[in-house]
Amino acid sequence: RLAARHEEDYGHLFWRTALELRAGPEPCPYTSNTMDRLARSAKQCIGRDLEGWTDVGLHELFFAYGKYLLLASSREGSQPANLVGIWAEGMSAPWAGDYHLNINMQMMYWASEALNLPETAAPLHSFLHALSESGENAAQCLYGIDDGWVAHGFTDIWMNARPLGDTQWSLCPTCGAWLALHLYDGYLFRRDVEELREVVLPVLGGAVAFFARYLTPLGPQGSLVTGPAHSPENSYYLPPPAAGFFHVTMGPSIDTAVLFALFEAF
């Protein structure tokens, strides 16, 4: 009965979409052992005159599994899916079970709108509103800006918006705005004007207000840039006398890209 209730709970959402791939007139020789399929996933099928065929069914399985994980870890009334999901073992989860805003959280929700699963994004919407409220305090305390909000590379269930940890990982002032753009993606799919007015624009508008005052002129033409900031998971090399790899700079490309998208959306 438990399995039946579970299937009833997620099935009507799960089967809104399906992925069917074809490598040719016949699939690879089938085996139900997923570990065997994973072991040969980067190899071509050999035997039965099928050399050169690939196990497209494994890609279909990945698609279905990712969709199932999203449905299982993020539903209305819950917290959003975090870096390791709700299945982290023990009292101390890897990476503190926190929320990485420097691409991980965005990736976990890319499928929610594209696969017609907006229900899975409901916790993210609530989370973003709370994060923007916490981010107002961060904007005032860290940058002396009393208009709008900001959040950085990581946060937690308490929506801490300041840079957490070493600057080479955390000093990403556009990461919160990047995640907030998911709200606008939802509007593009549903074209719900009331949702745009009540949910999306207040959050995006707060981010716009912050960056309108945060950006600083740089260079002979006075181009407005962010900084000091870093590009997540990235570094650059400076020759002697500095002679080393560094992370923090002025106007990293990711910030430019996020702010163009943010201001255009708003």
**In the predicted model, is pLDDT for residue 24 greater than 60?**
no
Range of 1-15, 232-246, 249-263 with top mean pLDDT: 249-263
**In the predicted model, is pLDDT for residue 50 greater than 50?**
no
**In the predicted model, is pLDDT for residue 150 greater than 90?**
yes
Token duo for residue 5: 């209730």
What is the pTM for the complete model shown?
A: 0.88
What is the per-residue pLDDT for 1?
A: 86
**In the predicted model, is pLDDT for residue 152 greater than 80?**
yes
pLDDT averaged over every residue in the chain? 89
pLDDT tens digits, residue range 186-195?
A: 999 999 999 9
Pairing of strands 223-225, 244-246: unpaired
Does residue 236 contact residue 246 with C-beta atoms inside 8 Å? yes
